């Protein structure tokens, strides 16, 4: 079982953004901006052997326990100290989380945190954390897609699922309520709310054209409430809360309903000041005021007599899509809102009636949770490509690149390789080949080069500086293999002009004799002195002709990863097969192979995570025994410190992992990120409202904003460490922000006004 030890580190992550194209109106050359993010970050430490970078830009849920708001994201948990704004980022690398996509959270009467992951059969599910240890559960049936978790006063925990009904965990074990053994009309269960007398209110969702309803369970009997037997305005129920008087406030598709146990009051746009009828969330505060979140009409506040509406026209809310609400002990409302498009994610913000505060739920600068390529540069920095841009990591400083600040038109980077002179090559999924040298970008497409495919799968550079590029075919892309010589002569190889057996090339590796090995979807190719030899299942010991990965060890032995039949060892004479039936390999689909300095193999498979093979023993690293952020492992890179960099994904999540058996630098590695700057600004660039967090113990300070010429634009005297500044009237440009105390500068930062 994985345990977690809390490690207090006041660290700041530094992101270096190289911006050259998004602000062409006022700067034409490459501008390097240093942003000091996560100024109140505290990390959990599970082990000094693992570090995991995830992106938490999609906020799914929240639960308040005492002075902390635990926020579940697609990249783990952001634990926010309500008093100070300090954030602890928790993921599979520094805790017992088995999967980083957190769908629901709850706290029970003993203070345990319950976590529901959007898990798979291999990772994630349901777990609890008591502050020291994690406990894992497999409710019957073993279904790992949970919608909500609720704890009652008896210590029982109720877990709702998307397709398998409602579960209850008590001292007697697990009990299941579904359409087979209860009156529940469907097995799709939404929010569950426990009343003080332990009566349970359950939202039943539509499923396969069967309408939902609101249900009440008293421990013995079920009562179903719908439009046929009550005045509830709709059978589409999204949320429920109970006020201090015991009234139930119910959010539906057709308005807000209040039920006192006998009669119903309905509030909609036709009879009240409520701004919209689709009520996604309801929360009752300590003063018995009702907060209502709507799908596309903003946030509303009802004091029993009048309505106050907050939306994107009269508040700092960027849009009107409210996802969920919660109220802390200070009567502050915490709001999860969705961005304009679902793929952009969702964020969390707090409002105390006067001030709005935005919180950063990203625990790292990762562009997203789906890294797909890795490369080691000559300066020992690491490049990581994702389907949302790419990054360079050097001495813990991240430089982010995307279509917003380069010539790239698409952000999906599937292959990266680095030349000895510092030239970088990037392969895109849909936009071809990109070269970066001396801060100059060159894009090769079907229209301006001999390139025969926009889909680049792999890039390998040989000792003569020839670039070997494997491509895919399909549609307008003919695919094949390209060799770009050091003098930039292009040679195209495909099935029509060479012995290449298939135009989809997965991987290229070069052995110590200079032989080029090419893996395709239909065979393995050996290129030696312009002589081609093809190996497949008909003429060799290969068990599968679909080649996914290749590597050469220190004895010049070739290791081959196949799509369906495991790992193959070829020593130029014999073929040896390792599969899940005759060895310790966890899965027969081998996507990645890397050999370390000790001639030990490191393998990435579709379902098995990371595997170490020393020639005799197999060691598995997966979600149950390590910090791996997913089971689907696509790339492995080993740096000069023998640290393994691993890209892995799982269901809707994943990340970049670092692992070293002898230990990472641990605390010192994180401390390298610490700087003296005390200011964090968000968002950056900004359109209207700039949120400023100030990490200082001073009780009063001045905030000064200046333009690029040094002219003072605004000066603010404040006692608050979290400040919202309206910059909507600022001209487009680059600005400096500084914080001082008694004329002493305690921090500076920069932001861009769009």
CATH number at residue 718: 2.60.40
φ, ψ at 342 (rounded to 5°): -60, -35
Name the residue with higher pLDDT: 695 or 453.
453
> What's the whole-model pTM score?
0.84
Tell me the pLDDT tens digit for each residue of 460-513. Answer: 999 999 999 999 998 888 999 999 998 889 999 999 999 999 999 999 999 999
Residue 10 scores a pLDDT above 70: no
The verdict on residue 88 lying in a domain is no
The verdict on residue 736 lying in a domain is yes
Average pLDDT of span 696-711: 77
What's the pLDDT score for residue 732? 84
Residue 670 scores a pLDDT above 50: no
DSSP 8-state code for residue 643: P
- Among 624, 606, 621, residue whose Cα is nearest residue 658: 621
What's the pLDDT score for residue 141? 65
141's tokens: 């049936």
Residue 206 scores a pLDDT above 60: yes
90's tokens: 């928790």
The verdict on residue 41 lying in a domain is no
Round to whole Å and give the CA distance between 4 and 179. Answer: 39
Whether the CB-CB separation of 292 and 282 falls below 8 Å is answered with yes
φ, ψ at 343 (rounded to 5°): -70, -15
Share of the chain above pLDDT 70, in %: 89
Q: Which of 20-24, 104-108, 260-264, 651-655 has the lowest mean pLDDT?
A: 20-24
Residue 29 scores a pLDDT above 80: no
**Count of C-beta atoms within a 10 Å radius of residue 244:** 10
Round to whole Å and give the CA distance between 462 and 467. Answer: 7
- Please give the angle made by the CA atoms of 448, 452 and 458, to the nearest 5 degrees: 110
Concatenated DSSP letters of 2-51: -B-EEEEEEEEEEEEEEESSTTTTT--S-EEEEEEEEEEEEEEES-TTEE
Residue 603 scores a pLDDT above 70: yes
Round to whole Å and give the CA distance between 518 and 508. Answer: 5
Whether the CB-CB separation of 486 and 478 falls below 8 Å is answered with no
The verdict on residue 334 lying in a domain is no
Pairing of strands 558-562, 371-376: unpaired
- Among 136, 48, 133, residue whose Cα is nearest residue 99: 136
Domain that holds residue 732: 690-753
The verdict on residue 727 lying in a domain is yes
Q: How confident is the model at residue 8 (pLDDT cuts 50, 70, 90)?
A: very low
Average pLDDT of span 272-293: 97
Residue 566 scores a pLDDT above 80: yes
Round to whole Å and give the CA distance between 403 and 21. Answer: 9
Count how many domains the chain has: 1
Residue 211 scores a pLDDT above 70: yes
Residue 35 scores a pLDDT above 50: no
What's the pLDDT score for residue 711? 81
What's the pLDDT score for residue 5? 32
Tell me the pLDDT tens digit for each residue of 382-427. Answer: 999 998 889 999 988 888 888 777 777 778 999 999 999 999 999 9
Q: How confident is the model at residue 46 (pLDDT cuts 50, 70, 90)?
A: very low
Q: Which of 29-38, 193-202, 303-312, 637-646 has the lowest mean pLDDT?
A: 29-38
Tell me the pLDDT tens digit for each residue of 299-340. Answer: 999 999 999 999 999 998 888 999 999 999 999 999 999 987
φ, ψ at 52 (rounded to 5°): -125, 130
The verdict on residue 652 lying in a domain is no
Residue 746 scores a pLDDT above 50: yes
Q: Which of 216-230, 555-569, 676-690 has the lowest mean pLDDT?
A: 676-690
Tell me the pLDDT tens digit for each residue of 243-266. Answer: 999 999 999 999 999 999 999 999
Whether the CB-CB separation of 722 and 731 falls below 8 Å is answered with no
What's the pLDDT score for residue 7? 30
The verdict on residue 520 lying in a domain is no
Round to whole Å and give the CA distance between 432 and 477. Answer: 10
Mean pLDDT of the chain: 87
Q: Which of 13-17, 603-607, 690-694 has the lowest mean pLDDT?
A: 13-17
Ranges 429-438, 470-479, 602-611, most confident: 602-611
Share of the chain above pLDDT 90, in %: 67
Residue 369 scores a pLDDT above 50: yes
203's tokens: 């939202």
Concatenated DSSP letters of 436-503: EETTEEEEE-TTTSS---S-EEEEEE-TT--EEEEE--BTTB--EEEEE-TT--EEEE-TTTSS-S-S
The verdict on residue 55 lying in a domain is no
Average pLDDT of span 26-46: 33
What's the pLDDT score for residue 749? 78
Whether the CB-CB separation of 418 and 375 falls below 8 Å is answered with yes
Average pLDDT of span 41-54: 68
């Amino acid at each position: 079982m994985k345990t977690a030890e809390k490690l207090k580190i006041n660290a700041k992550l530094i992101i270096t953004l190289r911006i050259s194209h998004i602000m062409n109106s006022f700067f034409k050359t490459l501008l390097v901006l240093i942003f000091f993010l996560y100024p109140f970050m505290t990390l959990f430490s599970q082990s000094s052997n693992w570090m995991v970078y995830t992106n938490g830009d999609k906020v799914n849920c929240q639960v308040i326990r005492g002075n902390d708001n635990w926020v579940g994201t697609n990249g783990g948990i952001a634990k926010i100290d309500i008093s100070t704004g300090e954030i602890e980022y928790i993921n599979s690398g520094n805790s017992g989380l088995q999967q980083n996509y957190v769908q629901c959270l709850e706290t029970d009467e003993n203070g345990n945190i319950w976590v529901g992951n959007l898990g798979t059969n291999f990772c994630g599910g349901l777990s609890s954390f008591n502050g020291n240890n994690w406990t894992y559960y497999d409710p019957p049936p073993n279904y790992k897609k949970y919608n909500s978790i609720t704890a009652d006063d008896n210590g029982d925990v109720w877990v709702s699922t998307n397709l398998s009904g409602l579960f209850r965990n008590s001292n007697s074990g697990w009990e299941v309520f579904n359409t087979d053994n209860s009156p529940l009309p469907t097995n799709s269960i939404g929010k569950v709310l426990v009343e003080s007398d332990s009566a349970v209110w359950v939202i039943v969702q539509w499923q396969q054209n069967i309408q939902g309803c609101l249900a009440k369970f008293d421990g013995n009997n079920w009562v179903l409430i719908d439009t046929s037997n009550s005045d509830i305005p709709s059978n589409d129920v999204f949320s429920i809360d109970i006020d201090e008087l015991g009234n139930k406030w119910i959010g539906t598709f057709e308005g807000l309903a209040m039920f006192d146990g006998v009669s119903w009051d309905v509030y909609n746009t036709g009879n009240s000041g409520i701004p919209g009828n689709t009520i996604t969330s309801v929360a009752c505060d300590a003063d018995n005021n009702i907060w209502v979140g709507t799908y596309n009409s903003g946030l509303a506040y009802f004091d029993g007599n009048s309505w106050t509406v907050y939306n994107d026209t009269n508040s700092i809310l960027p849009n009107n899509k409210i996802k969920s609400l919660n109220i802390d002990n200070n009567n502050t409302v915490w709001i999860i809102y969705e961005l304009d498009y679902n793929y952009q994610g969702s964020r969390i913000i707090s409002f105390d009636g006067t001030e709005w505060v935005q919180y950063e739920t990203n625990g790292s600068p990762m562009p997203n949770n789906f890294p797909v390529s890795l490369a080691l540069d000559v300066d020992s920095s690491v490049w990581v490509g994702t389907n949302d841009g790419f990054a360079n990591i050097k001495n813990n400083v991240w430089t982010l690149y995307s279509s917003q600040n380069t010539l790239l038109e698409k952000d999906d980077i599937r292959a990266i390789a680095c030349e000895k002179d510092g030239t970088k090559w990037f392969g895109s999924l849909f936009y071809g080949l990109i070269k970066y040298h001396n801060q100059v970008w060159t894009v090769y497409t079907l229209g301006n080069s001999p390139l025969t495919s926009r889909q680049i799968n792999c890039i390998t550079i040989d000792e003569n500086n020839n670039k070997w590029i494997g491509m895919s075919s399909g549609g307008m892309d003919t695919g094949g293999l390209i060799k770009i010589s050091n003098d930039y002569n292009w040679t195209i190889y495909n099935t029509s002009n060479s012995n290449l057996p298939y135009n989809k090339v997965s991987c290229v590796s070069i052995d110590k004799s200079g032989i080029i090995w090419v893996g395709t979807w239909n065979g393995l190719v050996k290129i030696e002195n312009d002589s081609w030899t093809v190996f497949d299942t008909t003429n060799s010991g290969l068990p599968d002709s679909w080649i996914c990965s290749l590597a050469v060890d220190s004895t010049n032995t070739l290791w081959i990863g196949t799509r369906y039949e495991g790992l193959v060892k070829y020593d130029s004479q014999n073929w040896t097969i390792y599969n899940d039936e005759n060895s310790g390999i966890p899965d027969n689909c081998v996507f990645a192979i890397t050999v370390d300095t000790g001639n030990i193999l490191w393998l990435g498979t579709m379902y098995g995570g990371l595997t170490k093979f020393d020639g005799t023993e197999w060691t598995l690293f997966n979600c149950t025994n390590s910090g791996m952020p997913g089971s689907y492992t696509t790339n492995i890179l080993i740096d000069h410190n023998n640290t393994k960099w691993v890209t892995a994904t799982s269901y809707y999540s994943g990340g970049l992992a670092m692992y070293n058996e002898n230990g990472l630098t641990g605390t010192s590695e994180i401390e390298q990120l610490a700087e003296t700057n005390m200011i964090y600004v968000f968002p950056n660039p900004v359109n209207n409202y700039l949120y400023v967090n100030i990490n200082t113990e001073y009780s009063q300070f001045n905030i000064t904003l200046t333009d690029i010429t040094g002219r003072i634009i605004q000066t603010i005297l404040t006692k608050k460490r979290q400040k919202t500044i309206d910059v909507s009237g600022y001209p487009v440009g680059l600005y400096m922000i500084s914080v001082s105390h008694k004329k002493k500068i305690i921090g500076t930062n920069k932001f861009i006004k769009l």
